[in-house]
Amino acid sequence: MSEDFNNNKTIQAQSSEAISGGGSGVGVDADYVRPAEVADQDLYHGHSFITKWIFCQDAKVIGVQYFLLATFTGIIGLILSWLMRLQLGFPGLAPFMTAEHYYQFVTMHGMIMVVYFLTALFLGGFGNYLIPLMVGARDMVFPYLNMVSFWSFFVAVGVLLASFFVPGGPTGSGWTLYPPQAILEGTPGSGWGIMLMCISLILFVAGFTMGGLNYLITILQARTRGMTLMRMPLTVWGIFTATVLAMLAFPALLVGALMMSLDNVLGTSFFMPTILKAGEVLEYGGGSPILFQHLFWFFGHPEVYIVALPAFGIVSDLISVHARKNIFGYRMMVWAIVGIGALSFFVWAHHMYVSGMNPWFGFFFATTTLIIAVPTAMKVYNWILTLWRGNIRLNTVMLWCLGFIVTFVNGGITGIFLGNVSVDVPLSDTYFVIAHFHMVMGIAPLMVIMGAVYHWFPLVSGRFLSEKLGKWHFWLTFLGAYSIYFPMHYLGFIGVPRRYFEMYDSPYVTSAVGMNEFISIAAFIVGAAQFILIYNIIKTLKTGKPAGHNPWQACSLEWLTPTVPPEHGNWGDRLPTVHRWAYDYSVPGAKEDFITQTTPPSEVAGSKVEKT
Amino acid sequence: MSDLKIEGYEFKPGFKGMAKDTSSDQTMFKGVHWGKAMMWIFLLSDTFIFSCFLISYMKGRGSTIIDWPNPSEVFGLHVFGVQVPLLLIAIMTFVLITSSGTMALAVKYGYEKNRKMCGWLILATAIGGLTFVGMQAFEWSKLIHEGVRPWENPFGAPQFGSFFFMITGFHGTHVSIGVIFLFIYAYKTFAGHYDEGKRGWFTTMKGDYVEVEILGLYWHFVDLVWVFIFAFFYLW
């Protein structure tokens, strides 16, 4: 089996090479980088279609696999949202939309978008593709485990989608899956549906753990020579912190899902109180539904930041590259990411203000929640200060970044409303909440994903996506998303409750009906606009403009591979050596407006580079 | 790790050294094998799983309206006509902790490249684990025989059965997985895979005795979790 491996030569101390570089002005010692601590990684190279493209151990292929599968599930989530809006905007138009189906679609839309789309896309997709490239590794440290991670995700998605075809259909208990309703008769999918949901989540967590261990150890233990933690691009910091959160938060979901499965299948009463149904006492009794809420939200709140932190990191890099300026306050940005991550474990009960809790408890969680606004606001200021007096390229990528800042600030401000107990109680379970979380963790991270796709597509495929189609895509999405979610704030203020199948003859119906129709039409257009991207990708793969090497003149390592797109092993014969951070843009005195991370100090002797 | 040497890197003691390692390039934990670092982080994640279980258990036990059964009676054994409380559990705990000791010795002999001793000690650990799982199966069947079920319990609160079977079952699964791996590793040790640096199936890692230590970390963790389960279930 030894021919399967490229038995890399052990790395010799390469200090001699560094010393012989340039040599004008700056002492040669400045170019010295310590020799490698760890021998070069051996990689398993696939040599059949199956080992190269299906059961592949290359992190880049796994990243693309994650990306495609997450996008596929995301499109299902999108179609479900269309069906929901069809019912809300035009009740009775679609005869198959019963109340049961409506609840099932709400549930599946929520769970798919949060877990199977955003989490899988950011961590599985971007994480796998970018981490090894950005830290200068040949691959993830455990390629085989990485492959198993993707295929666990694949099975998890399969189980989830299978619930559409089982007796009773998928669960209709809302994405929060609150017991006792989730497993009681009368809730759609209370038998098979909820069981498959729990199994799918357990599989997802197992698969994610395998991937997450890979991301963490690759970042901690497999960086290239010269790559310190504080020289890593913020993308890596965002994904790293999000992965830490996921490793600590998913256990609560796993335990909750397992206990609920047992309640459902074996008839235990972990979450089931004494229940009177049609005059009869059920077998259940003595359990605590609130316990599930605590477990769920101990997962659920960090989950918000599992989605948001990679988006923060990625958008920082995109803004810096396309504003041709270093990111403002890099260290502050890093600590803000870490701080937000740590704080996110102490705020979960702000999702439970109306569940009934000690007022001091609510006070505590309101305080911690509002404290999160501090590091978050720091990040927003830093993005704006990065743009300030930058040499901005107003291309599609930059448009998505600007769209992100706007939607994120908007969603963040409504979060301050909802973080306060006394303001939250009347707004709870209204469309204001829907507007808030779609803005802040739906649309905002989605804007970053889109920006990231336009930014890194030339790396993955070697071709530029069409700017013209990209601008159409952006403006339709941005204005359309605002048309959807901005009116929802108003709907929430007049008291329209969320998760209602129909408004019937409620007092606010007159002003809500027209608005609901408008929102629905906007939703159809925004959803359809996403297919512009798919068309753009297919068209670009065939006829797109070739991008060549480092098309955005970026500094970070992923653009500096010997071949574009990078091949398995990423770096050819020799791993890169890093001398600086990833943000040396528009440095005074330098020949070009960017200095790559691999440029030794002696080559840019006259310029005022940052000391990192 | 005091004898660790890295070319071009000077270690410093204490917090300064920690800060230096953290801010250095390439690796954060100097000289630590990738798999070992991975196992530590996995165990941290697993700690959260067991914490969630045990906290749920405390919540369930604390808020039940039906009395919790007395553990020293429920878990007692009749031996020669004498009721001995917690006898079986004491033996189980002893066996499991002992197996931790043999595991630690296996790691020591592994690093000394003493293939035979290492292999036998891993095998002894596996047999200890197997004994533990066997005794747990006996305890389960005894309780089931007495009428305890996940959904009901003749001695008091039904949640007793639910939590007991779920948590010890989850822990028992961990032990069983550990036992399977111990047998595999014992085979690999005897076959000399760690001496030759033979690669694993489909993976690129070369065999090394550090793998014994990594499995050892898992095994000690499983034992430590048992100490907590023991304290919370049997002594509370």
| CB-CB under 8 Å, B49 with A254 | yes
The CATH number that domain A56-274+284-601 falls under is 1.20.210.10
Q: Residue B152: left (phi > 0), alpha (psi -120 to 50), or beta? A: beta
| CB-CB under 8 Å, B25 with A228 | yes
Please give the residue that has the higher pLDDT: either B198 or B95: B95
Determine the Cα–Cα distance for residues A597 and A224; give it in Å rounded to an integer.
12
Mutation target for A interface from B18, B42, B56: give the one with most A CBs within 10 A: B56
Residue A555 tokens read as 């500094």
Rounded mean pLDDT of B161-181?
95
Identity of the amino acid at A344: S
Given this model, what pLDDT does residue B33 score? Answer: 92
Determine the Cα–Cα distance for residues B164 and A246; give it in Å rounded to an integer.
27
Name the pLDDT band for A27 (thresholds 50, 70, 90): low
- Residue closest to A209 by CA, chosen among A238, A250, A258, A160: A250
Half-sphere exposure of residue A109: CA atoms within 13 angstroms, side-chain side = 18
Q: What is the mean pLDDT of chain A?
A: 91
| A416 contacts A370 by C-beta, under 8 angstroms | yes
Rounded mean pLDDT of A485-500?
92
Q: Does the pLDDT value for residue A17 go beyond 80?
A: no
Q: What is the pLDDT of residues A463-477, one digit of tens each?
A: 999 999 999 999 999
The CA distance from A46 to the nearest CA of chain B, in Å, is 10
Alpha helices (runs of H) in A266-395, residue ranges in sequence order: 289-323, 330-343, 359-387
Residue from the list A144, A220, A251 with its beta carbon closest to the beta carbon of B203:
A144
Q: Does the pLDDT value for residue B77 go beyond 90?
A: no
| CB-CB under 8 Å, B157 with A37 | no
Residue appearing with tokens 């014992």: B186
ipTM: 0.94
Nearest chain B residue (CA) to A285: B158
Rounded mean pLDDT of A353-374?
91
| CB-CB under 8 Å, A43 with B27 | no
- Count Cβ atoms below 10 Å from residue B231 Cβ, excluding itself: 11
- Residue closest to A257 by CA, chosen among A189, A181, A202, A337: A202
Name the pLDDT band for A239 (thresholds 50, 70, 90): very high
Q: Does the pLDDT value for residue B177 go beyond 90?
A: yes
**Does the pTM exceed 0.90?**
yes
Q: Does the pLDDT value for residue B204 go beyond 80?
A: no
The CA distance from A133 to the nearest CA of chain B, in Å, is 14
Nearest chain B residue (CA) to A579: B25
Q: Does the pLDDT value for residue A6 go beyond 70?
A: no
Which of A181-190, A231-240, A273-282, B1-10 is least confident?
B1-10
Q: What is the pLDDT of residues A249-271, one digit of tens each?
A: 999 999 999 999 999 999 999 99
Note the CATH architecture for domain B68-235. Answer: Up-down Bundle (1.20)
| CB-CB under 8 Å, A37 with B27 | yes
Q: What is the pLDDT of residues A511-568, one digit of tens each?
A: 788 899 999 999 999 999 999 999 999 999 999 999 989 999 999 999 999 998 999 9
Rounded mean pLDDT of A475-485?
96
Name the pLDDT band for B2 (thresholds 50, 70, 90): low
The residues spanned by each domain of chain B are 68-235
Residues in CB range of B185: below 8 A, 6 or more apart: B122, B211, B212, B215
Q: Does the pLDDT value for residue A502 go beyond 60?
A: yes
Residue from the list A5, A41, A225 with its beta carbon closest to the beta carbon of B25:
A225
Given this model, what pLDDT does residue A557 score? Answer: 95
A–B CB contacts, 8 A cutoff, strictly below: 155
- Residue closest to A433 by CA, chosen among A394, A386, A491: A491
Given this model, what pLDDT does residue A8 score? Answer: 44
Q: Does the pLDDT value for residue B186 go beyond 90?
A: yes
Q: What is the mean pLDDT of chain B?
A: 91
Q: What is the pLDDT of residues A449-465, one digit of tens each?
A: 999 999 999 999 999 99
Given this model, what pLDDT does residue B207 score? Answer: 86
Q: E-strand spans in A23-167?
A: none
> Cα A295 from chain centroid?
21
| CB-CB under 8 Å, A35 with B28 | no
Given this model, what pLDDT does residue A28 score? Answer: 58
Mutation target for A interface from B25, B55, B166: give the one with most A CBs within 10 A: B25
> Which residues in chain B touch residue A39, judged by CB atoms under 8 angstroms apart?
none
| CB-CB under 8 Å, B150 with A267 | yes
Rounded mean pLDDT of B25-39?
93
| CB-CB under 8 Å, A251 with B45 | yes
- Residue closest to A347 by CA, chosen among A368, A361, A363: A368
Determine the Cα–Cα distance for residues A138 and A68; give it in Å rounded to an integer.
23
Residue from the list A247, A266, A291 with its beta carbon closest to the beta carbon of B45:
A247
